């Protein structure tokens, strides 16, 4: 099967392409398109006007392109896929016995056809759909979904018949739901129902979209073919002629086309003058470094193609470059994406909640999406401790909520007076070095001083952060590398190595072994020293398995498990003398310190499982969720807590309540989208959609030594192939100094030639730049310039690539190809 | 004109009501509805089955209800509004010369009809629409919009003709966009196109909705009426009989109906066990205190009616209570609502952005909704200083961003090393006592210790907060009341009084007067003392005009204006020696301290103007916006800043960047909705939709002394009438101790019998409870139990009511009526 490049949104400066959708079948799409074609040809006489029918059904004699050929022979017309039966394409294709053309083949052929026309010179191209907006294509996809990746500007042919007002508005809404821009509505002037009058007002008021009309075509003259043709010819002559309003219609489309391009081309300049970017030193952010995103679909951005300097080649000698290009969203849009951009289910879920509720205030109130989401999360976590859901807006606020919860619980159980954040007796958090929990100041205070916070005026690190062992694939083995502090206790041993990542994650088996013992010793000794020094703590807070912003580091899960265990088994260390007594009455009560898992990045299938806690085999008392929670659509966070935490806030005094709550707490749109997204992610897992990835990690290559007796659900896996991880590992250490892959995440430590090993390093930038220039394997048409650009973010010298949860196996393999090329290219550039 | 009560979502335990929508006209709605009616009548023989056609067009002989009468004489059928011409109702109504029935009249009549049936006993009611989902009603509204307030469960009759797949899916999407629940899709089994097969699979996969079918009706027998009727009768006999699948269809509707009710009735219990509520002492939050919100539309929630204890009256003797009731959203859902709940424009804007982008990462990227929103806000503010927009997720994070901006700017200009939040040399904020800026810890730190923060472990008030004069209407005058601290400097004078609120807000005129002089003296003296004591400041942060969470207090705008002036004119007080020099080169540079306006609550038309800063006639260096920003749909915040602030972050070191940025920064859905919302709010102002409110405040009553020479745009106004404010003022001081109204906000200080004057007081609770039980004026049917419940939130002893920005004059007058009743009732209850 030929490889098909990712769909490109089609936009050229000199070729105006429009897609003609119909509000219904039989509304006159072909007639209107013929008028548009003839008019464009007449008014832009020195340019090419073309007509394209991607999929046609019905006897060839009746086909729409034949109608065009008959009445507009001056137009270059073409049908890509013709099925003979006059049925909806999905039935015609099946019944005809002809092969069923795949969606991506249809898109690729449209793209080729348009590209060829663009290379011939300026012009117009009208792409006519079949039936209504949701009429099924041969594959069974509805057309509005099938053609969405191209996101061509739409001319919607309205329905002038009885009922046509409804059809036209609904068709319009289905298109908007999928992110199409409807440029105008065209329909026949019909005297009795006067749909055009109503629609003109409606679309102007509600959407500022012009509605324009043509007279109705003449009645068919059944007995006299010549007269019939003559009448229709006169109709076309008139309506594409000087006396019609066609000039105005085409001028509108022409202007909108040009305005779209000028706006796109000016956006990066305007943004550089207007926007204050997050986490960005804007002094160096010249407009050309700002990516202009026109739209996104599935795993792909459609971005404005960087323009080469205009002076290099005379424009006439080159094929005009397409103005948009697809780029793989390789950071999953800052770790948020799961189901892909522009997923109709999520759009419709958002729209439904907006229509049913808008936002409704949540204090002392409840609505279905919030309750159902709380129930789904609590159940999905499989953690018997967690009983309560508190809603906030993002991971950072969710962490602040968790801190407020934990610290109060410790104060109340200890019978301690609150001392205020600045006092000597304040409570800190226990965490891991380099962990990061968010950008609000309270969340920043949970991390040790680092590049992200130390220049923030009010930041104060409040706590202690452990050094910890990391896991990386190196020289054919999965290696656990102890930090300096542990090595001493391990008799100088630097770590351990395992045959498979599943072996590393077999934390129960490892717990009694050397690693487990030395971790416990180290943690207990450290805690004893700290508490002896008078440090007081209010929570153990960790990101299970992976430290995200802290450098995309895979932490030994056994170390995190041991941390939880030691804290819980030694409550008196923290002044918690009720622990053992409490445990007798309620084994789900927190002990020692409340344990907070920040699963914002690592949870909800990012690493392949609903909860990242399951990798540790440990249950949190408080658990924070965001990012993937809404499948990557809108901000929402949920902090889950145990009853033992919740009850610490019960009091006769209403001001003892948890004093946190944003205006949009549990906003219905976010909750509904999250519900839809979690359902889809859970079904994806249940359907076995990731079996290809699981199989690869249990059968071949670096995972071949996975113990066969380990139950499949105990195994870990990644969409990144063992072969690819192994290939990276075999690169010279001057190129790559470490790699790991788990779930949808791949992290590669690029060796820094300047020796810098931090946020300040730019070692990974060369690979990042090469990825953005990637070309794929030869495309379907044999050309080798099919784009396979990958848009990534780097963290210092770590290059990471993160797929969505629905990214296909083929896409991952293509990404691996791009990565190989980019690493080698960057290596050459750097002269290694 | 009779007063029509707000629309109620119709739900009774024993009456199953369904609305039959068609995917198109001529799809067999009436035939399907007849089958449903006949089947329900047969299978629930001891119950009443009714048919209702709200609006019918066409010769009476052809009307749908006559079809029912002919073929289902056993059914109680009725048409509410009949137009004789066979056209779409909006044209038929105009052309017929008959009166055009208003939407709310249609809703009220459906409601009456259903209520009567419910009182007669259990049964089924099928409400058949006309044409397709968006076919216009007589008023011109499309039906999907017209009937939305009832939110009846929908049976969608699909289209079995060619093109019908598209029509059915689009119609479904239009209904979902408006928050309808489509219970099932019914259509004819048609052999050639087999739409039912495709649709059954589609709706099961995508939406878990069953699609069920009936055979096609027999062809009409044109010449022989008797034979025609006989054939059709046989068709009905079969399809409503035992051998059809009707039992299954009705059983599904029946089960869904019951499930909906049990779920609704269990939600408050489940919520009380599962949800952790914001700002709520949950110990006392028994399920009956939790409001179950089924949906919301316009200004109204539809909430589960509190059930009376079942033992009071034998159920058979009473009319069964409707399970849902409308409640006016009197807190504007925690101050967020502007355009009303369930606004289709906002739903469609959200869906469009979701379809076009999903969420796309924003670092070093730009997309149209974000850029356009930044441009719209910067322009709309009319503040020449503001040049940059930084996006975050909510007001609290927006404030943290503002703090990070301001403090850095002060550090950099002063050439000061950062000392960290805990150090002696740390920078604090200058603010007003009792001000509140959000729930994250950094935002909490901007406020002085109060009930909202003092029990939060890590909270530390960082700054100094001024006492300030408040404005209230009292004894027929608008009175400015000095705080104790100012009285001393004013020679013991307690304040001043003005004839109109516009006079109070004429700050330029007042600046040179007594108030202005004493404020300046007070502020300067205080600042000199503070700085002499070594206090260091990094920002002046105020909520312009109104302190929201701090107690809904109207602050003298002249005091806030003077604060800004004194800070800017005395830069050296703050160690800012570059001020005068800077001012020469850039008059837009900050001077003294960066001035932050937290407009989260007060901006974007809450008080009647785009920016609340305009009331002070002062421009901020940093301005924070949220809540109404998205018209009340999803969380989003924007922090605007001047170039002089922005440039403080320019550096060769990339870690000097503003280190803040959530994953969903500038999420496309929020930005698109905000754009749509701001456009609508600006147009509302431009169209003069608030002229009725403005006129009332410039012509009558308490504002009569407004100076005639003052330009209209300099006048202030409120939707709350001067008469009403005056009525409250005239209540005895043991009942009400203060009142003010501005824009959409009304605040009433209820006198606390226990003398408590804080968050801990519950003086306002009695009025709040009475409002929730309010009945309106006599409704259209003469009954006086038409609901006019008002759902409010209180702040200690302050009861506030806040309308949306599109709330009608009639609604505000009805609210005033409810408030009068509730205050008097509560007064009686309290025995005053």
For chain B, domains (ranges, CATH) are 15-218+225-261 (3.40.50.300), 344-687 (3.40.640.10), 693-829 (3.90.1150)
The pLDDT of residue B759 is 55
Q: How far apart are CA B153 and CA B141, in angstroms?
A: 20
Give the list of residues 6+ apart from residue A24 with CB closer than 8 angstroms, or none.
A131, A132, A159, A161, A164, A167, A171, B24, B163, B166, B167
Instruction: Report the pLDDT averaged over residues A548-559.
Output: 95
d(C-alpha A632, C-alpha B358), whole Å: 7
Q: Quote the pLDDT of residue A714.
A: 80
Q: How confident is residue B581, by pLDDT bands cut at 50, 70 and 90?
A: low
Chain A contact for B667, CB < 8 A? yes
| CA-only gyration radius of chain B, Å | 31
Q: Are A637 and A625 within 8 A, CB to CB?
A: yes
- CB-CB: which of A278, A281, A352 is closest to B176? A352
A450-487 burial code (b ≥16 CB/10 A, e <16) = bebbbbbbbbbbbbbbbebbbbbbbeebbbbbbbeebb
Distances (CA, A) of A114 to A8, A14, A119, A167, A259: 11, 12, 9, 30, 21
Q: Is the pLDDT of residue A832 over 80?
A: no
Where is average pLDDT lowest: A153-157, A309-313, B254-258, B609-613? A309-313
Is residue A411 within 8 angstroms of chain B, CB to CB?
A: yes
Q: Which helix (H) or strand (E) holds A578?
A: none
Which residues of chain A does B295 touch, with a Cβ-Cβ cutoff of 8 Å? 356-357
Evaluate the CA torsion angle A617, A621, A626, A629 in order and state its sign.
positive
CA–CA distance, B71 with B79 (Å, rounded to integer): 16
Q: What is the pLDDT of residues B230-251, one digit of tens each?
A: 999 999 999 998 888 999 999 9
* DSSP code per residue over B71-93: H-TTSEEEEEEEESSSS-HHHHH
- Burial of residue A277 (CB within 10 Å: 0-12, 13-18, 19+) is buried
CB contact under 8 A, B632 and A142: no
Please answer yes or no on whether A457 and B627 come within 8 Å at the CB atom. no
Q: How far apart are CA A309 and CA A320, in angstroms?
A: 13
Determine whether the interchain pair A357/B26 forms a contact, defined as Cβ–Cβ distance below 8 Å.
Answer: no
Q: In B555-634, which residue ranges form alpha helices assigned H by DSSP?
A: 557-569, 579-585, 613-616
| Whether A791 contacts A331, CB under 8 Å | yes
Interface test with B, best of A185, A445, A457 (most B CBs within 10 A): A457
Contacts of A352 in chain B (CB under 8 A): 176-177, 179
What is the distance between the alpha carbons of residues B307 and B320, in angstroms, rounded to a whole number? 11
A220 pLDDT more than 60: yes
Tell me, what's the pLDDT at A318?
Answer: 60
Average pLDDT, chain A: 91
Q: What is the least distance, in Å, from the CA of B766 to any CA of chain A? A: 17
- The pLDDT of residue A703: 46
- Count Cβ neighbours within 10 Å for each residue of A297-322 and write b for 16 or more, e otherwise: bbbbbbbbbeeeeeeeeeeeeeebeb
Cβ within 8 Å of residue B766, ≥6 positions away: B750, B826, B829, B830
Task: For chain B, positions 249-278, list CB contacts with chain A under 8 A.
Answer: 263, 267-268, 270-271, 273-278
Q: Is A361 helix (H, G, I), strand (E, B) or coil?
A: coil
- In angstroms, how far is CA A482 from the centroid of its own chain? 35
Report how far apart, in Å, the C-alpha atoms of B321 and of each of A85, B13, B110, B125, B255 are. 57, 9, 17, 17, 20
The pairs formed by B254-263 with CB atoms below 8 angstroms and a separation of 24 or more are B254/B16, B256/B153, B256/B183, B257/B16, B257/B153, B260/B11, B260/B153, B261/B11, B261/B13, B261/B323, B263/A368
With a CB-CB cutoff of 8 Å, which residues 479-518 of chain B face chain A? none
ipTM of the complex: 0.96
Chain B environment of A354 (Cβ under 8 Å): 177, 179, 342, 346-347, 350-351, 633
Inform me whether the C-beta atom of residue B422 falls under 8 Å from chain A C-beta atoms.
yes
Q: Which residues contact A200 (CB under 8 A, 6 or more apart)?
A: A210, A211
CA B17/CA B8 separation, integer angstroms: 13
Report the pLDDT value the prediction gives residue A96, as an integer from 0 to 100.
Answer: 79
- Chain A residues whose CB is inside 8 A of the B170 CB are 132-134, 167, 170-171, 173-174
Which residues from B are below 8 Å from A206, CB to CB? 345
User: What pLDDT is attached to residue A93?
Assistant: 76
Instruction: Quote the crossing angle between the two packed helices A809-829 and A722-729, to the nearest 10°.
Output: 10
Q: How far apart are the first and last CA of chain B?
A: 37
Distance between start and end Cα atoms, chain A? 37
Site from B90, B278, B300, B536 to mutate, A interface, most A CB atoms within 10 angstroms:
B278
The pLDDT value given to residue A704: 44
Contact flag A173-B171 (C-beta cutoff 8 Å)? no
CA B325 to chain centroid, in Å, comes to 17
d(CA B466, CA B448): 10
Burial of A343 (0-12, 13-18, 19+ CB in 10 A): buried
Q: Which residues of A touch B641 (CB under 8 A)?
A: 276
Q: How confident is the model at residue B832, as a pLDDT? A: 45
Q: Which residues of B touch A174 (CB under 8 A)?
A: 169-170, 173-174
Among A597, A600, A642, smallest CA distance to A625 is for A600
What CA–CA distance (Å, rounded) separates B191 from B171? 22
Question: Mind listing the pLDDT tens digit for each residue in A455-500?
Answer: 888 999 999 999 999 999 999 999 999 999 999 999 989 999 999 9
pLDDT in tens, B499-509: 999 999 999 99
**CA A609/CA A629 separation, integer angstroms:** 13
**SS3 of B498, please?**
strand
A367-376, A394-403, A700-709, B391-400: least confidently modelled range: A700-709
Per residue in A577-629, pLDDT tens? 775 556 556 888 999 999 999 999 999 999 999 999 999 999 999 999 999 99
Tens digit of pLDDT for each residue in B306-355?
876 555 555 554 678 899 999 999 999 999 999 999 999 999 999 999 99
State whether residue A361 sits within 8 Å of chain B by CB.
yes
φ and ψ at residue A807, rounded to 5 degrees: -60, 135
Report chain B residues whose CB lies below 8 A from the CB of A137. Answer: none
Contact residues for B526 (Cβ-Cβ < 8 A; gap 6+): B464, B466, B485
Q: Most B CBs within 10 Å: which of A270, A458, A639, A646, as the mutation test of the B interface? A: A458
Contact (CB<8Å) B341/A359: yes
Burial of A687 per CB tally in 10 Å (0-12, 13-18, 19+) = exposed
Q: What is the DSSP letter of A164?
A: H
Rounded Cα distance, A386 and A374, in Å? 11
Contact state of A391 with B271 under an 8 Å Cβ cutoff: no
* 3-state class percentages of chain B: helix first, strand second, coil last, to nearest 5: 40, 20, 40
pLDDT digits (tens, 9 = 90+) for A636-666: 999 999 999 999 999 998 889 999 999 999 9
pLDDT at B796: 87
Q: Is any Cβ of chain B less than 8 angstroms from the Cβ of A571?
A: no
How distant is the Cα of B680 from the closest Cα of chain A, in angstroms? 10
Q: What is the 3-state secondary structure (H, E, C) of A495-545?
A: EEEECCHHHHCCHHHHHCCHHHHHHHHHHHHHHHHHHHCCCCEEEEEECCC
CB-nearest to B357 from A24, A296, A357 is A296
Contact, A408 vs B457, CB < 8 A?
A: yes
pLDDT tens-digit map of A84-123: 777 777 888 778 788 889 999 999 999 999 999 999 999 9
DSSP string, B130-188: EEETTPBPTTS-BHHHHTGGG---EEEE---STTHHHHHHHHHHHHHHTTPPEEEEEEE
- Beta carbons of B545 and B616 less than 8 angstroms apart: yes
Structure confidence at residue A702 (pLDDT): 46
DSSP codes, B124-135: EEEEEEEEETTP
Q: Please name the residues in contact with A226: beta carbons below 8 A apart, sequence gap of 6 or more.
A: none
Q: pLDDT, tens digit, for every residue of B162-194?
A: 999 999 999 999 999 999 999 999 999 998 889
- Sorted by sequence, the CB contacts under 8 Å of residue B806 that are 6+ apart come out as B298, B338, B339, B340, B684, B689
CB atoms B170 and A134 under 8 Å: yes
Task: Give how far the C-alpha of residue B75 lies from the chain's centroid of Cα atoms, to the nearest Å.
Answer: 41
Contacts of B660 in chain A (CB under 8 A): 278-279, 439
> What are φ and ψ of residue A791, in 5° steps?
-95, 120
Q: Give the model's pLDDT for residue A700.
A: 41
Contact: B404, A456; criterion CB under 8 Å: yes
A477-481/B365-367 β-pairing: unpaired
- Cα separation, A2 vs A778, in Å, equals 9
Q: What integer pLDDT is reported at residue B453 of this predicted model?
A: 84
Q: Which residue has the higher pLDDT, B762 or B644?
A: B644
d(CA A77, CA A83): 17
Which residues are within 8 A (CB) of B492 and not within 5 positions of it... i.e. 6 or more apart? none
Digit-coded pLDDT (tens) for A734-763: 899 999 999 999 999 998 776 655 556 677
The pLDDT assigned to B61 comes to: 55
Report yes or no: B87 at the A interface, CB cutoff 8 Å: yes
Quick one: pLDDT band at residue A414, thresholds 50, 70, 90? confident
Judging contacts by C-beta atoms under 8 Å, the chain A residues touching residue B292 are: 365-367
Q: What are the percentages of helix, strand and coil residues in chain A, rounded to 5?
A: 40, 20, 40
% of chain A at pLDDT higher than 90: 79
Give the nearest partner residue to A356 out of B163, B295, B652, using CB atoms: B295
pLDDT band for position A779 (50/70/90)? very low
Which pLDDT tens digit goes with each residue over B266-299?
Answer: 999 999 999 999 999 999 899 999 999 999 999 9
Q: Are B661 and A439 a contacting pair at CB < 8 A?
A: yes
Q: How confident is the model at residue A785 (pLDDT cuts 50, 70, 90)?
A: low
DSSP assignment of A193-210, as one string?
Answer: T-HHHHHHHHHHHHH---
Mean pLDDT, rounded, for A323-330: 95
Helix (H) or strand (E) holding A431: strand A428-432
Q: What is the pLDDT of residues A360-404, one digit of tens each?
A: 999 999 999 999 999 999 999 999 999 999 999 999 999 999 999
| Residue A639, H or E segment | strand A637-642
Query: Out of B101-105, B420-424, B826-830, which region has the weakest mean confidence (pLDDT)?
Result: B420-424
Rounded to whole angstroms, how far apart are CA atoms B559 and B616?
9
Given a cut of 90, whether residue B537 has pLDDT beyond it is: yes
Tell me whether B238 touches chain A (CB under 8 Å): no
Choose from A303-317, B463-477, B710-724 the range with maximum mean pLDDT. B463-477
Structure confidence at residue A583 (pLDDT) = 58
Closest residue in A to B90 (Cα–Cα): A198
pLDDT of amino acid A5: 76
Mean pLDDT across chain B, nearest whole number? Answer: 91
Please give the Cα distance from A82 to A60 (Å, whole number): 8
Instruction: Measure the CA–CA gap between A256 and A252, rounded to whole angstroms.
Output: 6
Residue in A800, A772, A766, A801 with CA at minimum distance from that of residue A787? A772
Query: Is residue B596 predicted with pLDDT exceeding 90?
Result: yes
Rounded to a whole number of angstroms, the distance from the CA of A442 to the nearest CA of chain B is 5
B622/B381 Cα distance (integer angstroms): 12
User: B354 and A358 in contact by Cβ < 8 A?
Assistant: no
CB spacing of A633 vs B88 below 8 angstroms = no
Contact A274 B342 (CB under 8 A): no
């Amino acid at each position: 099967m030929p490889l098909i490049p990712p769909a490109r949104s089609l936009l050229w400066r000199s070729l105006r392409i429009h897609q003609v959708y119909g509000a219904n079948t039989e509304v006159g799409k072909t007639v209107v398109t013929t008028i548009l074609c003839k008019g464009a040809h007449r008014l832009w006489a020195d340019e090419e006007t073309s007509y394209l029918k991607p999929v046609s059904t019905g006897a060839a004699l009746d086909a729409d392109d034949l109608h065009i050929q008959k009445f507009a022979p001056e137009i270059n017309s073409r049908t890509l896929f013709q099925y003979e039966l006059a049925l909806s394409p999905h039935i015609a294709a099946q019944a005809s016995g002809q092969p069923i053309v795949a969606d991506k083949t249809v898109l690729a052929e449209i793209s080729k056809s348009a590209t060829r026309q663009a290379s011939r010179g300026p012009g117009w191209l009208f792409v006519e759909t079949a039936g209504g907006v949701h009429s099924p294509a041969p594959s069974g996809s509805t057309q509005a979904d099938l053609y969405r990746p191209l996101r061509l500007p739409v001319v919607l042919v309205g329905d002038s018949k009885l009922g046509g007002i409804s059809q036209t508005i609904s068709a319009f809404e289905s298109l908007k739901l999928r992110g199409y821009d409807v440029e105008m509505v065209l329909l026949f002037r019909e005297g009795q129902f006067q749909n055009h009058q109503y629609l003109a007002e409606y679309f102007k008021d509600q959407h500022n979209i012009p509605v324009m009309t043509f007279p109705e075509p003449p009645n068919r003259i059944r007995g006299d073919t010549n007269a019939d043709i003559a009448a229709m010819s006169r109709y076309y002559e008139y309506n594409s002629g000087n006396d019609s309003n066609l000039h105005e219609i085409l001028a509108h489309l022409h202007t909108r086309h040009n305005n779209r391009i000028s706006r796109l081309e000016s956006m990066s300049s305007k943004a550089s003058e207007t926007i204050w970017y997050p986490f960005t030193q804007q002094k160096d952010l010249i407009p050309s470094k700002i990516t202009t995103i026109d739209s996104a679909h599935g795993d792909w951005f459609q971005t404005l193609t960087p323009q080469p300097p205009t002076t290099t080649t005379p424009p006439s000698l080159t094929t005009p470059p397409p103005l948009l290009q697809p780029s793989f969203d390789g950071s999953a849009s800052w770790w948020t994406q799961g189901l892909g951009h522009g997923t109709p289910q999520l759009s419709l879920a958002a729209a439904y909640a907006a229509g049913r509720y808008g936002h409704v205030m949540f204090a002392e109130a409840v609505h279905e999406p919030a309750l159902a989401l709380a129930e789904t999360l609590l159940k999905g976590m499989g953690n018997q401790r967690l009983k309560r859901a508190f809603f906030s807006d993002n991971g950072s606020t969710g962490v602040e909520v968790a801190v407020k919860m934990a610290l109060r619980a410790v104060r109340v159980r200890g019978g301690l007076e609150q001392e205020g954040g600045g006092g000597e007796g304040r409570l800190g958090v226990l965490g891991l070095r380099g962990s990061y929990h968010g950008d609000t100041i309270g969340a920043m205070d949970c991390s040790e001083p680092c590049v992200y916070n130390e220049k923030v005026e009010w930041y104060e690190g409040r706590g202690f952060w452990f050094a910890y062992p990391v896991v990386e694939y190196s020289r054919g083995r999965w290696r656990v590398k102890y930090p300096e502090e542990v090595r001493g206790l391990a008799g100088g041993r630097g770590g351990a190595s395992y045959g498979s990542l599943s072996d590393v994650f077999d934390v129960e088996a490892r717990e009694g072994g050397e690693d487990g013992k030395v971790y416990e010793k180290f943690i207990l000794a450290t805690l004893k020293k700290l508490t002896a020094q008078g440090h007081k703590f209010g929570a153990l807070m960790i990101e299970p398995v992976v430290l995200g912003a802290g450098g995309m580091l895979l932490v030994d899960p056994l170390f995190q498990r041991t941390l939880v265990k030691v804290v819980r088994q030694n409550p008196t260390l923290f002044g918690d003398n009720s622990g053992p007594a409490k445990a007798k009455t309620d084994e789900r009560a927190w002990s020692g310190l409340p344990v907070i898992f920040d699963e914002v990045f690592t949870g909800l299938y990012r690493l392949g499982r609903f909860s990242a806690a399951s990798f540790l085999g440990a249950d949190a008392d408080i658990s924070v969720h965001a990012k993937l929670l809404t499948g990557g659509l809108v901000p929402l966070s949920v902090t889950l807590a145990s009853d033992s935490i919740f009850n610490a806030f019960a009091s006769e005094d209403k001001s003892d309540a948890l004093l946190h709550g944003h205006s949009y707490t549990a906003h219905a749109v976010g909750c509904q989208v999250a519900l839809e997204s979690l359902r889809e992610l859970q079904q994806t897992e249940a359907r076995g959609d990731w079996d290809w990835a699981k199989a690869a990690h249990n059968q071949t290559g670096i995972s071949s030594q996975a113990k066969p007796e380990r139950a499949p659900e105990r195994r870990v896996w990644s969409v990144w192939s063992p072969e690819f991880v192994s290939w990276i590992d075999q690169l010279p250490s001057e190129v790559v100094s470490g790699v790991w892959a788990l779930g949808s995440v791949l992290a590669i430590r690029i060796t820094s030639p300047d020796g810098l090993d931090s946020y300040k390093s730019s070692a990974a930038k060369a690979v990042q730049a090469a990825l953005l220039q990637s070309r794929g394997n030869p495309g379907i048409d044999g050309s080798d310039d099919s784009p396979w650009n990958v848009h990534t973010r780097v963290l210092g010298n770590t290059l990471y690539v993160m797929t969505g949860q629905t990214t296909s196996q083929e896409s991952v393999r293509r990404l691996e190809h791009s990565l190989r090329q980019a690493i080698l290219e960057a290596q050459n550039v750097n002269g290694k």
